[in-house]
Structure 1
Amino acid sequence: MQQLHPKAKWLFFWSYIVGLTFIFVPLSVYVFLAIFSLYKFGVSYIFMILIPFLFLGFSGFFVIFLYFWATWTYRNYKYQLTEDTVKIEKGVIAKHYVSIPYERVQNVDIHRGLVARLLGLSSLKIQTAGYSGYILSEGLLPGLDPQIAEQLREELIRKMKGTKQGL
């Protein structure tokens, strides 16, 4: 089985960071407001100074954990084009195996989001009959080199044309 481009771990990492920013920013505001409201109840000034440093330390530890998680995600994300199916294997704790027969493939798209463009990567989305919409593609290969993504798309389209599709 083939692996994604080595820069894919950075794609995973920054995707996690961007996603968790929407959780940590409101949480940070809440923590700092809670700290300053504790002053009214006679909490020690030293304790008020210590809590932000603990919060920053926890955030730093969490960012380091996300880097390792992104690396593990990259190492466990593999794909293979066989004679009659696309096989995708992914997952760190729980493994997820996807086999997509070529006759079920309806559309193959190449997507380049902001983070992927900055890293010079592309994502290949394989849509099948029975799956709903662009977001819920049954097959997703993020973090591919743009030339490889284009080659895979062309090969998938060629193999799709060689199968019996429809009723």
Structure 2
Amino acid sequence: MSVEIDVPFTPDPSFRSYLIVVTALSMLVPVFFFGFMAVVMMEDGGVALAVMAGIFLVLALAGGIWAYLFYDTVRYLLTTTEMTWGRGILWKQTGIVPYNRITNVDIIQGPLMRLFGISNLRIQTAGYSANQLAEIKLQGIRDPEPLRGVIMDFVRSGYPVAAVTGAEMPAGPASTVPLPSGGMAADAAVLQELRDIEAVLKRIEEKMQ
């Protein structure tokens, strides 16, 4: 999967079909429940089956419409310092995960996802890893290995990665990175302040003797 830094991207288009199928299948649980109630309350088994089929069609259609619209709300973004995400139809959700909090990136692919050729990237952070929970999931990713590689390159090195997925900028040891001039000036100012304090303390000590 090709991803550009600082450019939002969406899940693979097949993720929309996957969501529709999963949502439709999840409707079977309430259908069986209402169907059982219909069988108990109705003497005619044919009518009960018709009721079950009708309920399933209504719920599956509603769930399919929701899944279709939900796909259009999912957005991800990689920058040189953090990941951001957003999703939601009625209730919008957004989040930011800095790379320096990420501890691991796992690739998850169930049987149905394998059928559609997509995977999820489960992002674990320092605050969530103890419970084996993911703070964020990049869902519906086709060929997730390059994307995981880009994220982990940021996590390990802290160096920027080139604009196209898989193109890594060379990273050197931290000792070779020059300090900003502003930081050096601040250090010099602090050192001078400490010297001035030391001189004042010495004069006070001399007067007390």
Same-fold status (TM-score > 0.5): yes
1:124 aligns with 2:121: yes
- Cα displacement string for residues 68-95 of structure 1 (whole angstroms, at most 9, x for unaligned residues): 1111111111101011111111111101
Quick one: distance in 2 between partners of 1:62 and 1:21?
Answer: 9
**AA aligned opposite 2:151:** L
Residue aligning to 1:14: 21
- Is residue 8–residue 74 contact of structure 1 (8 Å, CA) maintained in 2? yes
Residue aligning to 2:157: 162
* Shift of residue 55, structure 1, vs aligned partner: 4.2
1:102 aligns with 2:102: no
* Shift of residue 51, structure 1, vs aligned partner: 5.7
Quick one: distance in 2 between partners of 1:70 and 1:143?
Answer: 13
- Cα displacement string for residues 120-163 of structure 1 (whole angstroms, at most 9, x for unaligned residues): 111111011111544x3111011111x2x111100011000124
SS of the aligned residue for 2:53 comes to helix
SS of the aligned residue for 2:26 comes to helix
For the structure 1 residues 130 and 109, does the alpha-carbon distance in structure 2 shift closer, same or farther, using more than 3 Å as the test?
same
Unaligned residue ranges in structure 2 (runs of 5+): 1-7, 159-209
**AA aligned opposite 1:117:** R
* Shift of residue 49, structure 1, vs aligned partner: 5.7
Q: How does 1:1-150 map to 2 (within 5 A)?
A: 1-36=8-43, 52-131=49-128, 132-134=130-132, 136-145=133-142, 147=143, 149-150=144-145
TM-score (norm 2): 0.65
Quick one: distance in 2 between partners of 1:20 and 1:59?
Answer: 7
* Shift of residue 13, structure 1, vs aligned partner: 1.9
Quick one: distance in 2 between partners of 1:111 and 1:97?
Answer: 22
Quick one: distance in 2 between partners of 1:152 and 1:86?
Answer: 12
Quick one: distance in 1 between partners of 2:34 and 2:46?
Answer: 17
- Cα displacement string for residues 14-67 of structure 1 (whole angstroms, at most 9, x for unaligned residues): 22233332332233122222212xxxxxxxx7xx86564344223212211111
Quick one: distance in 1 between partners of 2:19 and 2:124?
Answer: 21
**AA aligned opposite 1:90:** R
SS of the aligned residue for 2:27 comes to helix
Greater fraction of residues in strand: 1
SS of the aligned residue for 1:92 comes to coil
**AA aligned opposite 2:68:** T
How well do the aligned residues superpose, as a CA RMSD in angstroms? 1.9
**AA aligned opposite 1:12:** L
Which entry has the higher C-alpha Rg, 1 or 2?
A: 2
- Is residue 35–residue 48 contact of structure 2 (8 Å, CA) maintained in 1? no
Identity of aligned residues (%): 24
